[in-house]
Chain A
Amino acid sequence: EPEVTQTPSHQVTQMGQEVILRCVPISNHLYFYWYRQILGQKVEFLVSFYNNEISEKSEIFDDQFSVERPDGSNFTLKIRSTKLEDSAMYFCASRDGGMDTQYFGPGTRLTVL
């Protein structure tokens, strides 16, 4: 069964450093998403991506964040200058055009020191 994959599973970085989180969505899907979950809190929407552009973003997704689909298979989330409060689990998700069900990856745990 096709699945969404994410790498790395855990990323540790120093405050102020750039990080790139990688996702490979399900191959025939058209809509891509990033969510995050700070420890003990709810899962929050960050951004949605369709037709090679951002279709919606939340207030959390400020100028420090960017997304890219560089090669037709990967979908990346970049944080330019990490802050302590960026420490969280980041989930990638995708869905096809006809269904509203999103399929999630296993997540990347980001720890900012």
Chain B
Amino acid sequence: KQEVTQIPAALSVPEGENLVLNCSFTDSAIYNLQWFRQDPGKGLTSLLLIQSSQREQTSGRLNASLDKSSGRSTLYIAASQPGDSATYLCAVPDSGGYQKVTFGIGTKLQVIP
């Protein structure tokens, strides 16, 4: 069964800093990996989707990389802003069957002005 781990569980940084969030998964036979953002009390907003054939994806100040062989993905946030404060989750579809999705518990990010 796929297991997804996110480290650290919480992170506090000053505004303007570049930062990296980590996601690791146990079964490398993945179809894709998706990063989400969740604001308190809200649903999840999709940030980036990396297909298994890709190494990275970029959207604005966000860059996500994928290394299937080592079971890792990183989300890089450049020049962090207070508005980036949220919980960031990664999610991976299971490799077999109907491809149900396993989520990490998330990294709670606080960007201090």
- The answer to whether A and B interact is no
* Residues on B facing A (Cβ under 8 Å): none
CB within 8 Å of B: which residues of A? none
